[in-house]
Amino acid sequence: MPFPKYEDLTLPALRFLAGVPSASPADMEGAMAGLFLLSDDDRRERTSKSQQPRLVANINWACRYMWHAGLLIRPDPDRKSVYGVSGEGLRVLALGLDRIDFEFLVLYPSFREYIAKSRESAKARKKAKDLAASEAADAEKAAGTKSGTIPGGTPAPEASRPGRDRTVPAPPAAGREAEAALDAAEASLRAEAVRELAALAGGLGRLGFVRLVTDAMLARGYSPEGSAARDDVAASGAVMKSPLRPGLLYVLALPASAGPSSESSVRAFERQAAASGAADWLLVTACTLGKTDEGTGRTRIMDISELAGLMLDSGVGTRDLAVLELKKEKRGFFSGLGRRQS
Backbone angles phi, psi at 325, to 5 degrees: -105, 125
What pLDDT sits at residue 293?
46
What pLDDT sits at residue 67?
95
Q: Which residues make Cβ contacts (< 8 Å) with residue 59, sequence separation at least 6?
A: 6, 9, 13, 25, 28, 29, 32
Count CB neighbours of 69 within 10 A. 24
Cross-strand partners of 239 = 250
- pTM for this structure? 0.54
Quote the CA–CA distance of 241 and 222 in Å, as a whole number. 5
What pLDDT sits at residue 9?
94
What pLDDT sits at residue 141?
66
Nearest to 62, CA basis, from 143, 100, 124, 6:
6
Residue 160 · residue 145 · CB < 8 Å: yes
Residue 68 · residue 111 · CB < 8 Å: yes
Quote the CA–CA distance of 210 and 233 in Å, as a whole number. 8
Question: What does the pLDDT look like over 58-89, one tens digit per residue?
Answer: 999 999 999 999 999 998 888 889 999 999 99
Torsion of CA 310, 314, 319, 321, to 10 degrees: 80
Count CB neighbours of 59 within 10 A. 28
What pLDDT sits at residue 29?
92
Q: Is 127 helix (H, G, I), strand (E, B) or coil?
A: helix
DSSP code at position 159: G
CATH number of 187-314: 3.40.1340
Question: What does the pLDDT look like over 242-255, one tens digit per residue?
Answer: 766 667 888 888 88
Across 169-200, b (16+ Cβ under 10 Å) vs e yields eeeeeeeeeeeeeeeeeeeeeeeebbeebbee
Residue 62 · residue 13 · CB < 8 Å: yes
DSSP code at position 146: G
CATH fold of 6-107 reads: Arc Repressor Mutant, subunit A (1.10.10)
Long-range contacts of 219-226 (CB under 8 A, 24+ apart): 219/314, 219/315, 219/316, 220/34, 220/35, 220/37, 220/310, 220/314, 221/31, 221/34, 221/35, 222/249, 222/251
Q: Return the domain boundaries, the chain.
A: 6-107, 187-314
Which regions in the chain score pLDDT beneath 70?
Answer: 1, 124-125, 127-129, 131-176, 179, 226-236, 243-246, 258-262, 289-297, 338-342
What pLDDT sits at residue 229?
52
Length of the chain, in residues: 342
Quote the CA–CA distance of 102 and 95 in Å, as a whole number. 17
- Concatenate the DSSP letters of all residues of 241-294 into one string: EETTEEEEEEEEEE-GGG-S--HHHHHHHHHHHHHHT-SEEEEEESSPPPTT--
CA 113-119-122 angle, to 5 degrees, is 140
What pLDDT sits at residue 290?
52
Residue 93 · residue 47 · CB < 8 Å: no
